[in-house]
Amino acid sequence: MWAPPRLTFTRPFIESATPELLDSFSRRFFSITQYFPEVRGKIRVGMTNSYKGLAMTESDGNTMLKKISFPPLRRAGLPSRYVMGHELMHIVQAKQKFIPGTERACDLFTLSRLPPKHLDHPPIYLRMPRSVRSNWSRERIRPIVADMAHDVAIEAVISRKSNRRYINWWENEFRERVESSSSLSRFL
């Protein structure tokens, strides 16, 4: 039976936030863990000042130690569900060798797993039209592009067995669908 991972926080991470922010962070984090069932056990949450998020794993042969880091909550606010999912996908990549370990693959597999309602940030490493990336958070655009990005990501992951260039395929297909979308043309 799957159970959500247990979070422990480093002292600097705790000191970077109010109790309310830590509670909001935990609720947001747990809202997406079900989409990454391979991630079990304890996850240490730390702080980074260099990235939107950072994941590290280390194995002693029996146990995999997992740590994810985010910018200070007080300064940066809560990380997006997408960024949290991206970092969880890095842990999955370390555990499941059938998922390539690149950042672009991490983006694509995260898009395919998270439901569109949780795609609150554009993919970080995948190429996409600049107009989509810069307008992703707009209320009228995000549901359309998130649905589209998710659907195309599922197609790309499925095609991976027969298409070694599945990531490039996603980038081209997503761009073409955006360009041909009548519901997006009036906003972008």
pLDDT digits (tens, 9 = 90+) for 58-78: 877 777 789 999 998 887 789
pLDDT in tens, 11-59: 999 998 999 999 999 999 999 999 999 998 999 999 988 788 888 888 7
What's the token pair of residue 110?
A: 């995260």
Residues 92 and 109 in one domain: no
Domain range for 69 is: 1-96
For the chain, the 3-state helix, strand and coil shares in percent, each to the nearest 5, are 50, 10, 35
Q: Which residues contact 31 (CB under 8 A, 6 or more apart)?
A: 81, 118
Residues 108 and 32 in one domain: no
β strands within the chain, DSSP E: 6-9, 42-47, 54-59, 64-70
Residues 125 and 85 in one domain: no
Domain count for the chain: 2
pTM: 0.92
pLDDT in tens, 158-167: 999 999 999 9
Residues 84 and 43 in one domain: yes
Of the candidates 68, 64, 116, 120, the one whose C-alpha atom is nearest the C-alpha of residue 90 is 68
Residues 127 and 150 in one domain: yes
Residue 76 phi/psi, 5° resolution? -100, -15
Residues 154 and 177 in one domain: yes
What's the token pair of residue 115?
A: 């439901």
Residues 51 and 74 in one domain: yes
